[in-house]
Structure 1
Amino acid sequence: MKNRTKKWAGILFLFPSLVFSQTSAPTLQELINSALANDGTLNEQILQNKITHLDDEKLKDVFLPKVDISGQASYLYTSAHFTTPQFNIPAIPNLFPGLTIPEGGNSLNISGISTMAKAEASLLLYSGGKVKYLKEANREKNLSEQKLMEKSKDDVVTSISKAYDTFALLEESRKVLDESKKRLDINRKTADKALGYGLITPYDHKKIELAQATLDSKIVEYEGKKQLLMTQLEVLTGIDRTRIAAIQPILKPISYALINENIDNRAEIQALEHGIKASEYKIEAEKKWWVPKVQAQTSLSYFGLYDNHISTSKDLLQGFNSKLDLNPSNLNIFPLFQAGVGFKWDIFDGNEGKSAVEGAKINKEILENKKRDAQKKLKLNLANNQTNYDIANAQITLKEKAKNIAKLALENVEKEFRYGTKKSSDLIDAENDLQTAELDYQTAIYNQRRSAIELMKATQNLDINKL
């Protein structure tokens, strides 16, 4: 009874933590990890890389012995036609007068149930050096695929971080709209009193109502964008929508200083370099087409002929009753053993080897051209991202100043509106200016984060811990 009580007490103790883990908001790291696990492109690359590993195993298994066992049972019938030449048998005095056997045609017929069994083992001793280079080519191919997977991972991180920052931007926008709504509600009460005292016209009062309706429509638009973003994150990550709704990220600028301007670390360049090396090894492998291949081989065979009939169509000797007509019970040949070393040397293969070498060389040239083109584009991309990052930082400073000025202007207009020296249109204009300035400031931070992430990617230095 005591043990059962302790057991339930332990379950009740763990229950709050289990509920919390199922309802707590996912972190950016969790969102990225889930998206990486669900990304179709990355999973396809992983499966393709598994095929490359299988190809590597196949190359390793080339030098393993191969053993085949075969058997066959069938009805056998064969007929061999032959001609016996004329020949003379010399006479033996007082004993044999001599004899001339004329030329004649004959057929040897063999029929019966044949059985055959064979066990054969072979072992490749030397492949001409081709397998060695193919292994190296496959290794470089594997490294190239690994680099392409890194690029896909960076793309996933970029996509999720953008959605996460958009969520933060929407949350900040909602805060701005809520604050604006509070101020408008207060100013609406002031306008109601002013209308009752005849200090403002009904037209001015309607402008306040229109501003509130416009603000309500912006809040509805915000909710629609948030729901769409939640759906996007749910699809990309597979995380429950309830947990995603609890996300409350903070939008902060990313401080990043570009240390190394070398774009050779980019995954695309690294993948192409490994692809070029793989092509070089493939060229060397194809050049070995003419080198002899050596193989050891051994076999053990059995042959049997049952219920057989061996006969000739005519007499073996013309003029003699000498037809062959045998019915042996069976004929067995066992063991028939062979063992030795053989080689295959392709002296001329119809230019297949030469064409394969030329094809591998062309493939290498294609990859080299792609690398040169990628280097040009990535250098330009790096310069562009650095410029965008510098501009984005400057925009944050500018938009912050504009926000502070708009805030101060609204405070002054609100005071003058209460004293009746400003119209409702002035108040609404000042309110809209502050809304725009605050949203522009948050958007500037959002754009700065995007520029910083792209700058990190430009030199393959994307670090999740800095996001």
Structure 2
Amino acid sequence: MHIKKVGGSLLLLALAWLTPVSSNAQDLDPVLRNLIEKGIDKSHELNNKEFEAQQAVIDQKLARAVFLPKITLNGNYTRLDSDISFDEDTQQLLTGTQKLIIKEAAGIPFNSEFPAGVPVQPIPAIQESNILKSSVDLDWTLFSGFQASNALKASKHKEASINYAALAMEDKIALKIIETYDQLALVNASAEVLETTEDYLEQQEKFVQKAIENGLATPIERKKVELALQQLIARQLEFEQNRTILIELLHMLTGEQKNVLSAINPQLGSMGISETEQAEKRDEIKALEEAETASLYKAKMQRNNFIPKIALKGHYELLEDDLSLLDPKWYVGVGIRWNVFDGNKSRLEAKKSQLEAEKYREQREDAEEKIALSMIKAQQNLEASQQNTRIVQKEIELAMETYELTDKQYRNDLAPINDVLDALRDLEKAEFKLQDSYFQERRAKTELLHAQGKLNY
């Protein structure tokens, strides 16, 4: 803002500085919204949360997969040191039985000698030494003792907890970007204040120069104005350095190109808050609630380890040549597995998960208390910053009037140039304080919206 005339233009300046840019509570600058989106996309922590959520989804699929049949193809070759055969007495018994059957079939009396030359089949081995097998196995869980269903519920709540934690993390990222963006807006507003001061000093310099030419002022007065201009340049350099640092910080937070960030011109704006709106539950609380529920289901799953499990088992031999005399070709069965005592492992694991749930409950209650306190603190900070804004507005009015009066007195040779410069510095400080008050007011409103769970971006 450049003021070309001293006097009537001061009233316009006052109105400009006393009126901040206003906007609705959630109507953030589109440029700021875009930076927040970029910051969220860039966050490595959020990306890790996404991976954790995907892992929880896979856990759900694993829980459902318990009831899917498992089919296994098996193949193996075994070489024994010798064939597995019946003992000698059993072989003789089997050979004798075979002879009796042959004599009976030939009509030979029972007590007669076995005819010579009639072949007798050798007794086969129970298992030959070379064994080649190939088979298919089927394992199908029919009832898991409610472990699978509780595992599914636990993983669902874990996924919800991770997603809510990610949303809470997004809020923190947004808050940091909004704060940096507002700081950049404050630097811009302060730079405009310095531009106005520079206009005033240039006009004073011209006036003093004419006064010197007319013998109404001394070169010392001009040197004082020149010194004030040099001091102003130093302050402008400081603000430019602050702007560079803030642009670097925004670049780090968002990944946006520096030349793009250098081109933006954020302005301090007021964020309105409706007093009738009720505070919403924060994502941090939702994340802890879901984590607590997930731990309770996990504990229930571990306690269910003592409920009997029912499964179907099937087996089919693809190769029959090397099966022993006792091996079946196929079989199907249904079995029950009942874990009666596992050395207290399941009980202790369930107790551990129960304690984990209680830990999340304590964290949730602690967070609720801190959030309630933060809402009160943010509300008080907002009221204090609004009151401070009203005070500074009065200060700036007084500083402007003082500067006008001192300037007139100097021009009429009723006050020294030092008084004019002091009044100008007081006006500049008041304008700085006003912009800082706008910044603090916006920060308080942002914190209040966040505390109430109503920060949208």
CA contact (8 A) 1:120 1:298 kept: yes
Alignment partners' CA distance in 1, 2:56 and 2:338:
29
**Equivalent pair of 2:38/2:256 in contact (CA under 8 Å):** yes
Q: Structure 2: any 5+ residue segments left out of the alignment?
A: 1-28, 97-110, 114-124
- TM-score, normalized by length of structure 2? 0.80
Equivalent in the alignment of 1:211 = 228
* Cα separation, 1, equivalents of 2:112 and 2:455: 114
Letter in 2 for 1:300: Y
Q: Does 2:446 correspond to 1:453?
A: yes
Q: Say yes or no: does 1:192 pair with 2:209.
A: yes
Distance 1:64 1:111, change over 3 A: closer
Aligned partner of 2:251: which letter? E
2:100 counterpart residue number: none
Instruction: Name the count of aligned residue pairs.
Output: 401
Task: Give the AA of the match of 1:211.
Answer: A
- Give the equivalent residue in structure 1 for 2:434: 441
Q: Quick one: distance in 2 between partners of 1:300 and 1:342? A: 17
Matched, 1:278 2:298: no
CA contact (8 A) 1:407 1:434 kept: yes
Which segment is superposed worse, 173-182 or 417-426?
417-426
Residue 320 of structure 2 contacts residue 329 of structure 2 at CA under 8 Å; is this kept in 1? no
Tell me which of 205, 229, 234 is aligned to 2:251. Answer: 234
2:285 aligned partner: 269
Identity score, percent: 26
- The 5 Å alignment of 1:85-100 reads none
1:143-162 equivalence runs, <5 A: 143-162=160-179
Q: 1:79 to 1:332 in 2, by over 3 A?
A: closer
Q: Of 55, 63, 68, which aligns to 1:64?
A: 68
Give the one of 361, 364, 367 matched to 2:354.
361
Q: Matches of residues 9-408 of structure 1 in structure 2 within 5 Å?
A: 27-78=31-82, 112-197=129-214, 199-259=216-276, 262=279, 265-302=281-318, 336-408=329-401
- Once the two structures are TM-superposed, the CA of residue 78 in structure 1 deviates from its matched residue by 4.0
| Secondary structure, counterpart of 2:256 in structure 1 | coil
Taking the aligned partners of 2:31 and 2:377, their CA distance within structure 1 comes to 31
Q: Is the 8 A contact 1:112 1:305 kept in 2?
A: no
Structure ranking higher on relative contact order (CA contacts 8 Å, 6+ apart): 2
TM-score normalized with structure 1 length:
0.79
How far, CA to CA, are the matches of 2:315 and 2:135 in structure 1? 7
Q: 3-state SS of the aligned residue for 2:66? A: helix
Whose strand proportion is higher, 1 or 2?
A: 1
**CA distance in 2: counterparts of 1:417 and 1:336, whole angstroms:** 117
How far is the alpha carbon of 1:211 from its aligned partner?
A: 0.9
Contact 2:139/2:312 (CA < 8 Å) preserved in 1?
A: yes
2:138 partner letter: A
Residue 283 of structure 1: how far off its partner (Å): 2.1
Contact 1:304-1:332 at 8 Å conserved across structures = no
Structure-2 separation of matches of 1:110 and 1:43: 60
Contact kept, 8 Å, 1:301 with 1:337, in 2: the verdict is yes
Q: Could you tell me whether the CA contact under 8 Å between 2:127 and 2:324 is conserved in 1?
A: no
Q: CA RMSD in A?
A: 2.9
CA distance in 2, matches of 1:116, 1:81: 19
Structure 1 Cα separation of the partners of residues 354 and 129 of structure 2: 58
SS in 2 for 1:63: coil
Counterpart CA distance in 2 for 1:440 and 1:360 is: 54
* Structure 1 residue identity aligned to 2:51: L
Q: Which runs of 5+ in 1 are unaligned?
A: 1-24, 97-107, 307-329
CA–CA distance in 2 between the matches of 1:61 and 1:460? 38
Kindly indicate whether the alpha-carbon contact (under 8 Å) linking 2:82 and 2:129 is maintained by their aligned counterparts in 1: no
Following superposition, the deviation at residue 121 of structure 1 comes to 1.4
C-alpha spacing 1:137/1:231, structure 2 compared with 1 (3 Å): same
Shift of 1:223: 1.4
Whole-angstrom CA distance in 2 between matches of 1:35 and 1:109: 74
Q: CA deviation at 1:196?
A: 4.7
Deviations 1:287-332 (A, max 9, x none): 11111111112111245678xxxxxxxxxxxxxxxxxxxxxxx989
Mean CA deviation greater in 384-393 or 332-341: 332-341
